[in-house]
């Protein structure tokens, strides 16, 4: 396992981190299975665990808390808030009112008195950067969080937040957590350069592209990934954009075979090769999934392999741009584009 400094924090984290989105109802995992996965991840050298309040309605945090009990100090523990927690109008976003409540709820579920990294799950256009950063700075000073970061923010919002922190003398975001994979590379053109400019640690999610790069999705095979059960449109190979992805996967499989690598090693080795990336978040549902992903921990891709990948998916290109999670609201809401 490789270890890297998380932005400018001085915290050393593993180049592969354990994502807990599949823990609980969402992934169909039990507490015993979660504990076994956490045990094996720690034994494999992973020291960063990332969860969120919204994962299985808080169940993921509860399971992580039980799995890490008694060894909290050995783990860099991260969680997130901001996506809707239930139907309540005020139980979402990044207002001071909600963040204070959401963090207390997360700490209770995790069974800890602080988290090392507290992240805003999505940019909230209804709340000012000053309001959010002021609340986070106060929570940091209260000792409930050590550092805070953002997740899936557009590049221009990352810059604006850095300026706001400077202008109002507040603590600043020290990390960003974007989606990044061989098939979704648009952040190479904006988010990653901005992160490098401001010294942000970058924890990338979905490096296996929701299973497209796991080796399980190939031409002529039935799609069996767990995600297909609740996002069937993303895996329907009759959809043109999915056909493009499948064609790319077949070419990438040839590159992996030629290099003596599994698809997982190729995919994880690709994202961790970028100098702007600190860690890749893996999200196993089973021990077998975890072991296949840990096998990529020390994978270093040669320049020839990286060039071959570039020839299949050009740098800065998203093969499924419609699945982006950081699209500006003005592009989604017609009322924001018309008088």
Mind telling me the catalytic residues? 55
- Helix ranges (H only) for the chain are 31-43, 59-68, 96-110, 129-141, 155-168, 191-198, 240-259, 263-273, 287-294, 303-312, 329-332
* Cβ neighbours around 271 below 10 Å, total: 23
The distance between the two most distant Cα atoms of the chain, rounded to a whole number of Å, is 58
Is the separation of the CB atoms in 276 and 11 below 8 Å? no
Computed on alpha carbons and rounded to an integer, the radius of gyration of the chain in Å comes to 19
Of 324, 226, 217, the residue nearest 284 (C-alpha): 226
Measured distance CA(173)–CA(272) in Å, rounded: 21
Which residues, 6+ apart, have CB-to-CB distance to 256 below 8 Å?
262, 263, 265, 266
Cα–Cα distance between 233 and 237 in angstroms, integer? 9
Q: Which of 125, 176, 124, 167 is nearest to 148 (CA)?
A: 176
Contact 219, 246 (CB under 8 A): yes
Q: Let me know: does 146 contact 170? Beta carbons within 8 Å.
A: no
CA gap 51, 65 in Å, rounded: 10
Distances (CA, A) of 153 to 94, 108, 113, 305, 324: 13, 27, 27, 30, 11
**Is the Cβ–Cβ distance between 56 and 19 less than 8 Å?**
no
Q: Which two tokens stand for residue 172?
A: 């600043």
Candidates 121, 3, 152; CA nearest to 54 is 121
């Amino acid at each position: 396992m490789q270890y890297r400094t998380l932005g400018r924090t001085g915290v050393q984290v593993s180049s592969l981190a354990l994502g807990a989105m599949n823990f609980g109802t969402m992934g169909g995992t039990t507490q015993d299975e979660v504990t076994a996965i956490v045990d094996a991840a720690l034994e494999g050298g992973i020291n960063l665990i990332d969860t969120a309040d919204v994962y299985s309605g808080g169940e993921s945090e509860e399971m992580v808390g039980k799995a890490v009990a008694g060894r909290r100090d050995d783990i860099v523990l991260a969680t997130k808030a901001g996506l809707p927690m239930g139907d309540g109008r005020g139980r979402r976003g990044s207002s001071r009112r909600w963040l204070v409540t959401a963090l207390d709820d997360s700490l209770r579920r995790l069974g800890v008195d602080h988290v090392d990294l507290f992240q805003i799950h999505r940019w909230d256009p209804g709340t000012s950067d000053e309001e959010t950063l002021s609340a986070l700075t106060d929570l940091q000073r209260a000792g409930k969080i050590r550092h805070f970061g953002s997740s899936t923010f557009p590049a221009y919002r990352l810059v604006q937040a850095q300026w706001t922190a400077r202008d109002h003398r507040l603590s600043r975001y020290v990390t960003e957590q974007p989606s990044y994979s061989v098939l979704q590379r648009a952040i190479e053109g904006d988010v990653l350069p901005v992160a490098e400019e401001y010294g942000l640690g970058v924890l990338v999610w979905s490096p296996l592209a929701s299973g497209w790069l796991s080796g399980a999705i190939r031409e002529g095979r039935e799609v069996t990934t767990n995600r297909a059960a609740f996002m069937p449109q993303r895996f329907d190979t009759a959809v043109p954009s999915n056909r493009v992805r499948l064609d790319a996967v077949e070419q990438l499989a040839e590159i992996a075979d030629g290099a003596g690598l599994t698809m997982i090693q190729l995919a994880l080795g690709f994202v961790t090769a970028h100098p702007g990336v600190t860690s890749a978040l893996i999200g196993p549902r089973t021990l077998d999934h975890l072991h296949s992903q840990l096998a990529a921990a020390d994978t270093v891709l040669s320049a020839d392999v990286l060039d071959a990948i570039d020839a299949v998916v050009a740098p800065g290109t998203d093969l499924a741009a419609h699945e982006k999670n950081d699209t500006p609201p003005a592009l989604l809401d017609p009322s924001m584009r018309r008088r």
